[in-house]
Amino acid sequence: MNITELIREFTFKATRSSGAGGQHVNKVSSKIELSFDVKNSIVLSPREKELLSKNLAHRLTKNHFLILFCDDTRSQHRNKELAIKRFIELIKLNLIRPKSRRPTKPTKNSIKKRVETKKKNSLKKALRKKPKI
C-alpha cells in the first residue's frame, strides 16, 4: 500500500465548525470532512479491501465510504493534516491480520495440580460442616 497514492484518492470538504469560537467560527470553514471510497480504491488490493470492509463495517456508509471529520484546530490546513494522519493510523491498524490461535492441551502437571487443589478445597469445606451423629 502506497500512502502517497492513497492520499490522492481522498476527497476533502471544508465546512464551518460548530461550537464556541465567536465571530471566527461563523465566517471560516475550518472543519474538514475526509471521505474515502474503500470499494473502488485503486491503491488497495482486494485482500486489503476485504479486511477493511470487515474491520471497519461499523464506520462505513452504505456506499462503502469511510468518512472522518476533524475540527480540532482553527486552521483548515492543520485539520486536513490531522485528518490524514488519523486516517492512515486507522487504515494501518485495521489492516493487521490477527494471529490464528493454535489449540493447546493442558500439561499433565497442570492437570495434577488442579485436581490436588480441588481436593484440598473440598476437604477444607468438608471440615467446616457439623459432624454427623
Which tens digit of pLDDT belongs to each residue from 72-112? Answer: 888 889 999 999 999 999 999 988 887 899 999 999 999 99
CA distances from 106 to 19, 112, 113, 114, 124 (A): 57, 10, 11, 11, 26
pLDDT band with cut points at 50, 70 and 90 for residue 35: very high
Query: Which segments of the chain does DSSP mark as H helices, in order?
Result: 3-8, 23-27, 46-55, 76-94, 108-128
Q: Which residue has the cell 483548515?
A: 76
Amino acid 72: pLDDT = 86
Residue 39, helix vs strand vs coil: coil
Distance CA 9, CA 12 (A): 10
CB 66 within 8 A of CB 38: yes
First and final CA of the chain: distance in angstroms?
A: 79
CB atoms within 10 A of CB 60: 17
The residues spanned by each domain of the chain are 3-94
- Determine the Cα–Cα distance for residues 17 and 21; give it in Å rounded to an integer: 9
CATH code given to domain 3-94: 3.30.160.20
- Residue 37: all three cell numbers together: 471510497
Q: What's the pLDDT score for residue 126?
A: 92
The pTM score is: 0.68
